[in-house]
Amino acid sequence: MNQPDRYVQFLLPEGERKVTYKADTKLKDAGTFSFRSEDHTMGNLLRMQLHSDKATVFAGYRIPHPLEPVMVVKVQTNGTKAPEDAMSHALQDLASEFDHMRSEFERATSDVQR
Amino acid sequence: MVFELTNTDVSSANALRRVMIAEVPTIAIDLVEMENNTTVLNDEFLAHRLGLIPLTSDEATNWKRPFEWSSDHDMIETSFSLDVTCTVDGVMDVTSNDLIPMYPEHRVQPANYNTPEEKPIVICKLRRGQQLKLVARARKGIGKDHAKFIPVATAVFQFKPRIVLSHSAMADMTDDEKQAFVHSDPSKTFKFNPITRMVRLRRDGDWHPDPGAG
C-alpha cells in the first residue's frame, strides 16, 4: 500500500532530481549526496571508488528504506578537495574504468570468435 | 561463459553481476489478448506462463521501452498468435512452438523455436474439444521490472586463487605423502609425476572452478 510503483526503481519520475547534495552543518569538508532510483549496484561501487581517493577521510552509503529506491552517500574529505569534487572525480574514474573494461571485453570476445 | 576480470575491485565485479541480472534489457511477452480459452487453466494463469517464455532478444538493443516511444519509427513491440484446438482423443500439449510470430521480420521468436533437438516449453495441455486462441504482444523490459525479463539463468563471480607450491616442503615429503596430497583434492587440481617425483598443477598454472560443487 505504501510501496511506490515498481517502475520508480529504474525510472526517475517527472520533476525529480537524480542527485541532491547537502553540506554537513556540524563537520567541516563533509556532505551528503542523495541519489534517486539507485541501489546497491551504484552505492557500493561509488563507496569503494571514494575510498581509493587519498583525500577521502570518510565515505559510506546506505539505503534508508528498502522499499524506496533512494541511496544516500556521505563523504568527508581532509580539506584538499571539496566533497563534491571527490564525488565528481570518483564518478569520472568509474566511467573511464568501465569504458576500458568494455573495450577490453570487445577485444577479448572478437579474438575468441576468430 | 566464464570470463576473468583483473586489477579491479570486488565492487566492480558485483556491480557487473547485479547489472547482468537486473538491468540488461530483454524482450518478453507483456500483454495477452485472449480470444477463446476453454482450457483447464484460467486466463491470467496462461498469461503469466506466456510471459515467462524466453524470446530471442538480440533485437532488444534496437527497440525502445514502451515509455520511451516518441515516433512511429520506434520499435516497441511485436506480436505472436496462438490458435490450438485439440481434435484427438487424449492429451495434446500446447507448446512454445505453437506461438507463431505475426511479424517474422522482427526476428523475435521463442527460444529453441522449432528446434528438433530441444524440447519445447509446454504452455498448457488440452483435452478433446478444448481450444486456446490468443494474441500475445512482446515488449522490451529489464529484470528490475519483472523477473521474466532476466536474461541470465544465473550470474556469479568467484575469486581465482593463485596457487604456489612450496618446493622445500615437497622435498621433505615422501612419495606416498605426495600421492595422498594429490588424491585428497576431488577436483584434481594437482598431478604427481612419478619420474621427477614432483607435484605440479594439473593444467600448468591454470585453475578452474569445481564443476559440481557450490
Indicate whether B208 pLDDT > 80: no
CATH numbers and ranges of domains, chain A? 6-113 (3.30.1360.10)
Which pLDDT score, from 0 to 100, does residue B214 have?
46
Indicate whether B188 pLDDT > 80: no
A9 touches chain B (CB under 8 A): yes
| Closest Cα in chain B, distance from residue A45 (Å) | 5
CATH numbers and ranges of domains, chain B? 1-24+144-160 (no CATH), 26-141 (2.170.120.12), 167-208 (no CATH)
| Residue B100, phi then psi, degrees to nearest 5 | -100, 125
* Cell digits of residue B204: 600448468
| Percent of chain B residues topping a pLDDT of 90 | 53
Higher pLDDT, B167 or B115: B115
Residue among B15, B145, B146 whose CB faces A45 most closely? B15
- Interchain contact, B11 vs A6, CB within 8 Å: no
Q: A67-82: per-residue pLDDT in tens? A: 999 999 999 999 899 9
- Interchain contact, B144 vs A47, CB within 8 Å: no
Q: What is the mean pLDDT of residues B4-16?
A: 86
Least-confidence region, from B96-105, B112-121, B192-201:
B192-201
Are B23 and B98 spatial neighbours (Cβ–Cβ below 8 Å)?
Answer: no
Which pLDDT score, from 0 to 100, does residue A36 have?
93
Q: How many angstroms separate the CA atoms of B99 and B135, rounded? A: 9
| Closest Cα in chain B, distance from residue A48 (Å) | 7
Following DSSP, what letter does each residue of A37-52 receive, concatenated? Answer: S--HHHHHHHHHHHHT
| Residue B19, phi then psi, degrees to nearest 5 | -70, -40
Half-sphere exposure of B71 (CA within 13 A, CB side): 1
- Interchain contact, B18 vs A108, CB within 8 Å: no
